[in-house]
Structure 1
Amino acid sequence: MNTLLPTSIVGSLPKPAWLAKPEVLWSPWELDGDTLVEGKHDALRSAAKEQERRGLDIVSDGEQTRQHFVTTFIEHLEGVDFENRETVRIRDRYDASVPTVVGAVSRRQPVFVQDAAFLRQQTDRPIKWALPGPMTMIDTLADHHYRSRERLAWEFATILNQEARELEAAGVDIIQFDEPAFNVFFDEMKDWGVATLERAAEGLRAETVVHICYGYGIKANTDWKATLGAEWRQYEESFPLLQRSSIDTVSLESHNSHVPIDLIELIRGKKVMLGAIDVASHEVESPEEVADTLRRALQFVDADKLVASSNCGMAPLPRQVAFEKLSALSAGAGILRDELARVPA
């Protein structure tokens, strides 16, 4: 793709109300059986067309076919019991009822490949598909089998690599791994977290992305952010390791955050997917605000390595708000693109 400052969302878009309850995480489906399969594909088609209509250069699935960015993948795996659930602390921030690991984990069949192939048919633009990263997967489970976070992460990394290779074969151009746990469990990230992420991405020809953010715009996350002080410097822990990793692109939260923009210097040489849209606010950014966020990043990343994006997924937002934010993202990137085109070579 030759577009300067291409635009893309990170993960989820709100689902239509006829498919799932709006503005709720882990929202149950309103349909079932064959009707649910049809409904998911209708929503996927709609999300793809809406992204095109709003001017996005890279089209994602918007997570229309999954209830949650982590557990929907896990529920297709052997060795995980969704009936016997436990309440665990997720990323040291909030409690959630999660499934339990009761045996060896394995993938009996592809999880998202059919949906990705369907998305590929909907657009001629590059498509991106997100998978949960190994560390974030283990943080969303109660493990009664391996009793080792590291060992389970390596097992998940192998399974993710199998899925990623088949997504690539189905026509996915960019594969993103979501690792918000990298902003919390620093010692584990250094010891084996980045290594398991690289295992998940091993051998891929598709472009690879790791997305690390401060979470959805839900109360548990906004309350946590309020405790982080005037500067959020968690990326200082992960960026030097990722700069030396095999991952192509690093996706980070920026707009309306307290992340010092100069931390991007720590991943110099990598592509940077910069969050220029705040997902914790219903206020729609102006194109000028988006352009300003992107413009400030250009001190630390070359323009041909900058991708304009959202901070995180937008599932909890009202649907129209999310769509208007897509338009702002596209228009803001366009402002800066025009500015750069006028700069003499």
Structure 2
Amino acid sequence: MTALLPTSIVGSLPKPAWLAEPEKLWSPWKLEGEVLAEGKHDALGLAADDQALAGLDIVSDGEQTRQHFVTTFIEHLDGVDFENRETVRIRDRYDASVPTVVGPVSRRRPVFVDDAKALRARTDRPIKWALPGPMTMIDTLADRHYGSREELAWEFAAILNQEARELEAAGVDIIQFDEPAFNVFFDDVREWGVAALERAAEGLRSETVVHICYGYGIKANNDWKATLGDEWRQYEESFPLLQQSTIDTVSLECHHSHVPVELIGLLRGKKVMVGAIDVASDVVETPEEVAATLRSVLPYVDADKLLPSTNCGMAPLAREVARGKMAALSAGAAIVRAELAG
């Protein structure tokens, strides 16, 4: 991995059309049984190869083995009923049919460890694995057992820590926790959200990341963004807390957003994954556009702590668009890397 401006995607990549319906979130699998299991790992390998061909320094699974970044983890837990579903408001933004917590939550066995081993065998580059964060897990469920968001968050944090430790043992170099809910529930973030996140990452030797964005480029999220005005200052709530936390890296949305770039200065001293790729557009950025985004943040984050990335996952995009965006990310980072070295 390059020592300066190492590049990576944040989360998901589009799945092959033979595995799931393209350009759609929550897309059902087209395969079943052992054929599905084999197909998932085939897709994981293709995603790893696409990242390597694009020149990315850190390789992830592209979430090829999961239907959704939160619920695929949850469906492997005891205490959650996927048949008894309820409609809830996700991040105060849109309604979704979700599973229900009906008893104590627990994890019988690892969820992603076999997938992580398959990815580790596919590449000699550093690998990153994403897990849902405790608060975002809560926001993707109906709770009929605990009656306390905080209590359930601490249960999930302990379960996530078990999974993260086993992913680390399987060769994962960087473990990312996805917490888009941090951009919505500010009181919870202050009172227990960051502490629960730290519990999820407790004792890890792997690098840790928290990813906070404004969501996939779907209509519900884009409509919400349109209500936020000329300046998106949600990060102002969480960044000072995360700057003081034990989490190594903060991943944020930047390119084509209305986030005031100076807010990144609130993280001074932390590593920062800066989203230089817009996932809400099919237009492939030019390398120079990526470079311009990276230059704009350098007054607020030290170059040796800057990790160029995407704003969010790219599952809803066409595969060729995602490939083009990854290549642009790599080329844009190379431009700035050369400027810094020169």
TM range (shorter): over 0.9
Does structure 1 retain, via aligned residues, the 8 Å contact 2:262–2:300? yes
User: Could you tell me which residue of structure 1 aligns to residue 151 of structure 2?
Assistant: 151
Give me the whole-angstrom Cα distance separating, in 1, the residues matched to 2:239 and 2:301: 14
Give me the whole-angstrom Cα distance separating, in 1, the residues matched to 2:118 and 2:282: 31
The answer on 1:62 being equivalent to 2:58 is: no
Does structure 1 retain, via aligned residues, the 8 Å contact 2:2–2:57? no
Please state how far the C-alpha of 1:280 moved relative to its aligned partner.
0.1
Deviations 1:272-308 (A, max 9, x none): 0000000000000000000000011100111110000
**Within 5 Å, which residues of 2 pair with 1:144-183?**
144-183=144-183
2:288 partner amino acid: E
User: Could you tell me which residue of structure 1 aligns to residue 244 of structure 2?
Assistant: 244
Does structure 1 retain, via aligned residues, the 8 Å contact 2:22–2:316? yes
Please state how far the C-alpha of 1:335 moved relative to its aligned partner.
0.5
Give me the whole-angstrom Cα distance separating, in 2, the residues matched to 1:204 and 1:5: 23
2:327 partner amino acid: S
Does structure 1 retain, via aligned residues, the 8 Å contact 2:132–2:178? yes
User: Could you tell me which residue of structure 2 aligns to residue 227 of structure 1?
Assistant: 227
2:98 partner amino acid: V
> What secondary structure sits across from 1:164 in the alignment?
helix
Give me the whole-angstrom Cα distance separating, in 2, the residues matched to 1:248 and 1:3: 16
Give me the whole-angstrom Cα distance separating, in 1, the residues matched to 2:37 and 2:73: 16
What TM-score comes out, normalization by structure 1 length?
A: 0.99
Please state how far the C-alpha of 1:3 moved relative to its aligned partner.
2.3
Does structure 1 retain, via aligned residues, the 8 Å contact 2:180–2:214? yes
User: Could you tell me which residue of structure 2 aligns to residue 200 of structure 1?
Assistant: 200
What TM-score comes out, normalization by structure 2 length?
A: 1.00
User: Could you tell me which residue of structure 2 aligns to residue 20 of structure 1?
Assistant: 20
Give me the whole-angstrom Cα distance separating, in 2, the residues matched to 1:137 and 1:50: 29
Deviations 1:223-244 (A, max 9, x none): 0000000000000000000000
Give me the whole-angstrom Cα distance separating, in 2, the residues matched to 1:129 and 1:291: 26
Give me the whole-angstrom Cα distance separating, in 1, the residues matched to 2:267 and 2:49: 33
Please state how far the C-alpha of 1:60 moved relative to its aligned partner.
0.3
User: Could you tell me which residue of structure 2 aligns to residue 329 of structure 1?
Assistant: 329
Structure 2's unaligned 5+ residue stretches are: none
User: Could you tell me which residue of structure 2 aligns to residue 209 of structure 1?
Assistant: 209
Aligned identity (percent) is 81
> What secondary structure sits across from 1:208 in the alignment?
strand
Give me the whole-angstrom Cα distance separating, in 1, the residues matched to 2:84 and 2:24: 23
Structure 1's unaligned 5+ residue stretches are: none
Give me the whole-angstrom Cα distance separating, in 2, the residues matched to 1:9 and 1:30: 25
User: Could you tell me which residue of structure 1 aligns to residue 102 of structure 2?
Assistant: 102
> What secondary structure sits across from 1:289 in the alignment?
helix
User: Could you tell me which residue of structure 2 aligns to residue 265 of structure 1?
Assistant: 265
Please report the RMSD computed on the Cα atoms of aligned residues, expressed in angstroms: 0.5
Deviations 1:214-267 (A, max 9, x none): 000000000000000000000000000000000000000000000010001000
Give me the whole-angstrom Cα distance separating, in 2, the residues matched to 1:302 and 1:266: 12
Please state how far the C-alpha of 1:328 moved relative to its aligned partner.
0.3
User: Could you tell me which residue of structure 2 aligns to residue 141 of structure 1?
Assistant: 141
Deviations 1:178-207 (A, max 9, x none): 000000000011000000000000000000
User: Could you tell me which residue of structure 2 aligns to residue 37 of structure 1?
Assistant: 37
User: Could you tell me which residue of structure 2 aligns to residue 291 of structure 1?
Assistant: 291
> What secondary structure sits across from 1:292 in the alignment?
helix
Give me the whole-angstrom Cα distance separating, in 2, the residues matched to 1:319 and 1:182: 29
Please state how far the C-alpha of 1:83 moved relative to its aligned partner.
0.4
> CA 1:167–1:303 in 2, change beyond 3 Å: closer, same or farther?
same
**Within 5 Å, which residues of 2 pair with 1:87-126?**
87-126=87-126
Give me the whole-angstrom Cα distance separating, in 2, the residues matched to 1:19 and 1:48: 16
Give me the whole-angstrom Cα distance separating, in 2, the residues matched to 1:227 and 1:37: 41
